[in-house]
Amino acid sequence: MPPLTESEFLALADAELGRIERTVERAADEADADIEIGRVGNVLTLEFDDGSKIIINSQAPMQELWVAARAGGFHFRRNDGRWVDTRTGEELYVALSRYVSQQSDADVSLVAD
């Protein structure tokens, strides 16, 4: 599959960041986890009770979503309609569920809408 144009990638990434935001809000409510969610442009920030954060942003030149969490830094690239970790192949929402659960001390399961 050929790479996307920058505008195609930005539209796709923007839609995915919105989906992540909605998914985290819903899952946090279901798990009774206190997570503050903020978005400015291509940066989505999740802030937890202990002051820790998860930051998710799009990187147009690399056509990736980058995730910075307490567990480390991770790069996700679109592959067959899914965002997968460039090192492990793990799916984005599976990884985010683990990172959010670790930082919120709650069992948070993220399932994309």
**Region 72-87 average pLDDT:** 96
CA distance 29 to 37: 12
- Are the C-beta atoms of 67 and 55 separated by less than 8 Å? yes
3.40.47.10, 3.30.920.10, 3.30.70.990, 3.30.70.2660: CATH of 6-104: 3.30.920.10
Percentage with pLDDT > 70 across the chain: 99
Report the Cα 98 to chain-centroid distance in Å: 11
Sorting pLDDT into bands at 50, 70 and 90, what band is 1?
A: low
Q: Domain residues of the chain, as ranges?
A: 6-104
CA distance 93 to 101: 12
CA distance 21 to 37: 7
State the pLDDT at residue 3. 79
Question: Whole-model pTM above 0.85?
Answer: yes
Tokens of 102: 């670790």
Sorting pLDDT into bands at 50, 70 and 90, what band is 112?
A: confident
CA distance 66 to 54: 10
Lowest mean pLDDT of 10-14, 36-40, 58-62, 108-112, name the range: 108-112
